[in-house]
């Protein structure tokens, strides 16, 4: 079995659970896949690139984790439905959906076409909604293969960009604001009707992720602490531990919240 010796959680906190993680082949999604697997879950990872999925699955399996990689684009409802169905066929049930798939690039509003804006909302916001919608019947109490008393749960990966405003991120800020709103609405409605907990995580800059490579070019690093004194990067581990807390029974009374895991960064103000 995979080692979780670097984790404060017992290695069986997700024993017997099945998780589907969109964007699970790289970055934060892969960190969550690895730690969920190391704590007993079987993981299905969804992504657009076959090679990325194959490499990720090989890595997970080498750690003793039950893993499959499913190609698909969260913008396509038929892909979402097929990936959910395949997860059920393969692992028999679905307990945890993690919406980690996201798209991003830096652009000023002046240079960003409406289609560019829409593309990011389609991936982040509509994609999150679509996956939740397709997964619902399996996440419900009594869903196929599940213990009749156990409801599933959803984790949406968000950001802090929209708490204030972020340069060159009008599209992602709008998209993640919608994700947070979806988190609250589903927490209310599916929490009431089906006992499904729906929460989010808003990460800061995380080492080794496509997000950090795209958004924080190396040359910006030395300047950044001048205006963001709390700036320090986190690790994929930090986000995975928050995800484990929210996905395990430790988080059983948490519903409808988006947990900020950024070292306090979004509170930063220049010293004066």
Residues that bind ligand HXC (CB under 6 A): 102-105, 107, 111-113, 115-116, 119-120, 159, 161, 172, 210-211, 214-215
Least spacing, CB of residue 201 vs ligand HXC, in Å: 11
The nearest distance, CB 204 to ligand HXC, in angstroms, is 8
Query: 210 or 229, CB closer to ligand HXC?
Result: 210
Tell me how far apart the terminal alpha carbons of the chain are, to the nearest angstrom: 52
Give least dist CB 93 to ligand HXC, A. Answer: 29
DSSP labels for 171-225? HHHHHHHHHHHHHHHHHHHHHHHH--EEEEEEE--BTTSHHHHHHS-GGGHHHHH
Give the nearest distance from C-beta 168 to ligand HXC in angstroms.
9
Q: How far is the CB of 146 from ligand HXC (least distance, A)?
A: 31
User: Nearest distance from residue 63's CB to ligand HXC, in Å?
Assistant: 24
Q: How far apart are CA 157 and CA 146, in angstroms?
A: 25
- Give the residue with the Cβ less far from ligand HXC, 57 or 175: 175
CB 207, min distance to ligand HXC, A:
13
Spatial distance between the Cα atoms of 46 and 22, rounded to a whole number of angstroms = 5
Nearer to ligand HXC, 75 or 141 (CB): 75
Q: Which is nearer to ligand HXC, 112 or 177 (CB)?
A: 112
Q: Is 233 left (phi over 0), alpha (psi -120 to 50) or beta?
A: beta
Nearest residue relative to ligand HXC (C-beta): 103
Closest CB to ligand HXC among 61 and 75?
Answer: 75
Structure token digits, residue 48:
């657009």
Nearer CB in complex with ligand HXC: 6/220:
220
Enumerate residues 6+ apart whose C-beta is below 8 A from 124. 101, 102, 103, 172, 175, 176, 178, 179
Measured from the CB atom, the residue of 7 and 119 that comes closer to ligand HXC is 119
Closest distance to ligand HXC from the beta carbon of 241 (Å):
19
Query: With respect to ligand HXC, which residue has the nearer C-beta, 25 or 40?
Result: 25
Distance CA 264, CA 79 (A): 37
Does residue 186 contact residue 198 with C-beta atoms inside 8 Å?
A: yes
Helix, strand, coil percent values for the chain (each to nearest 5)? 45, 15, 40
Nearest to 39 by CA among 94, 93, 2: 2
Cβ atoms of residues 29 and 157 within 8 Å: yes
DSSP-assigned states of every residue in 60-87: HHHTT--EEEEE--TT-HHHHHHHHHHH
């Amino acid at each position: 079995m995979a080692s979780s010796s670097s984790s404060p959680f017992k290695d069986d906190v997700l024993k017997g659970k099945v998780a589907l993680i969109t964007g699970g082949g790289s970055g934060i999604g892969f960190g969550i896949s690895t730690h969920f697997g190391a704590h007993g879950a079987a993981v299905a990872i969804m992504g657009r690139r076959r090679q990325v999925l194959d490499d990720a699955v090989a890595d997970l399996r080498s750690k003793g984790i039950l893993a499959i990689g499913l190609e698909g684009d969260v913008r396509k409802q038929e892909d979402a439905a097929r990936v959910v169905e395949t997860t059920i066929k393969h692992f028999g049930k679905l307990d945890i959906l993690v919406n980690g798939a996201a798209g991003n690039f830096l652009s000023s509003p002046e240079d960003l076409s409406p289609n560019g804006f829409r593309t990011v909302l389609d991936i982040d916001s509509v994609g999150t909604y679509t996956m939740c919608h397709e997964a619902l019947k399996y996440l419900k109490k009594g869903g196929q293969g599940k213990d009749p008393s156990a409801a599933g749960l959803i984790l949406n990966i968000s950001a802090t960009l929209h708490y204030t405003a972020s340069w060159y991120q009008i599209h992602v800020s709008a998209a993640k604001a919608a994700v947070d709103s979806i988190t609250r609405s589903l927490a209310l409605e599916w929490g009431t009707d089906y006992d499904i907990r729906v929460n989010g995580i808003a990460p800061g800059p995380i080492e080794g992720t496509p997000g950090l490579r795209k958004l924080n070019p190396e040359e910006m690093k030395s300047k950044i602490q001048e205006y963001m004194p709390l700036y320090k990067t986190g690790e994929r581990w930090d986000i995975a531990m928050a995800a484990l807390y929210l996905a395990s029974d430790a988080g059983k009374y948490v519903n409808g919240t988006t947990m900020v895991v950024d070292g306090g960064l979004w509170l930063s103000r220049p010293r004066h």
